[in-house]
Structure 1
């Protein structure tokens, strides 16, 4: 069974940084399954990048039928049924993101430093003891492991 990486990020991001593309190239070279959402921003950019590389071991997680954004019919789709009690759109999307974190072995997050959803994805993966790689777009770099601990500490307060 191939390992799975949950790739997520901020909807404000318009281009995948070159370093993130290189990380994705390594993920593809290792034959990992990519789990990604169906939002605009990073989700759509990741889908487009996989399509441009001819990489189809991709599963789009969605709460919509059909998905809001899907770059290729060759990508798998996993519809997450959200409890009716969750009315708020952000809470419904967070429920889907939790399912993606649980299904993955690793997380790669492309973060604008502001998005609460991306922050929650980072904190959730750390809490579950998963390896997380975070690219902080405003600083144009991957965060060091010690900096990730600070994120988790901040989530507990």
Structure 2
């Protein structure tokens, strides 16, 4: 059974039909799903999986209890570092999902630095990730950091700055030259 890191932007409240179809294929193939607890794309995907009564799901959270666990699935708590705020609270759980995954599926609004960084983390480990880019109406598969850099070039300077501000030193090595 392959493990799929399923995620996306918090500002997405409707999954594209192609992503819904792909999630249906994940369920049909009985792959495991690793998913966060955030509102937006995570909660939308959780709702879809719960509608299938799908059992092979693990919900990752930083808090004591998940913000969303729509299928009453197993919960994996990844505590944040002491004193963490904002993005830094949730980044460790995202890194852990990437570490455990074989593949990724992300629904991106074209602006979310967290979603873009999750794709990078998978690329750095040579784990393919399908990205549904809602802002451009496109689908791409990122296989490596070169593919990720090509995707990042479409994002715009402000988004790139936000991404860079949240990167670890190892992740910065993947920045475009």
TM-score, length basis structure 2:
0.81
Whether contact under 8 Å (2:5, 2:97) holds in the other structure is yes
Structure 2 Cα separation of the partners of residues 103 and 8 of structure 1: 14
Q: Please, which of 128, 145, 150 is the counterpart of residue 125 of structure 2? A: 128
Change (3 A) 1:144 1:77: closer
| RMSD (CA atoms) | 1.8
- Gapped regions of structure 2 (runs ≥ 5): 154-159, 161-173
What's the CA shift for 1:45? 0.4
Cα distance in structure 1, aligned partners of 2:47 and 2:63: 19
Q: Distance in 2 between matches of 1:49 and 1:55?
A: 9
Q: Which runs of 4+ in 1 moved over 6 A?
A: none
Cα drift, residue 144 of structure 1: 5.1
Task: Give the gaps of 5 or more residues in structure 1.
Answer: none
Distance 1:133 1:20 in 2: 9
Question: Which residue of structure 1 lines up, in the alignment, with residue 36 of structure 2?
Answer: 37
Preserved CA contact (<8 Å) 2:128 2:141: no
Higher relative contact order (CA 8 A, sep 6+): 1
| TM-aligned CA deviation for residue 67 of structure 1 | 0.7
Tell me the equivalent position of 1:150: 150
TM-score normalised according to structure 1 size: 0.90
- The number of equivalent residue pairs is 154
**CA distance in structure 1 between the aligned counterparts of 2:147 and 2:79, rounded to whole angstroms:** 34
Of the candidates 90, 99, 114, which is equivalent to residue 117 of structure 1? 114
Is contact 1:123–1:152 with CA below 8 Å preserved after alignment? no
CA distance in 2, matches of 1:152, 1:131: 16
Q: Secondary structure at the match of 1:130?
A: coil
* Residue-by-residue CA offset, 1:66-113 (whole Å, 9 max, x unaligned): 11111022x1110112221x5122012111100110010001010000
Q: Contact conserved, 1:97 with 1:121, CA < 8 A, in 2?
A: yes
Q: How many Å separate the matches in 1 of 2:93 and 2:6?
A: 13
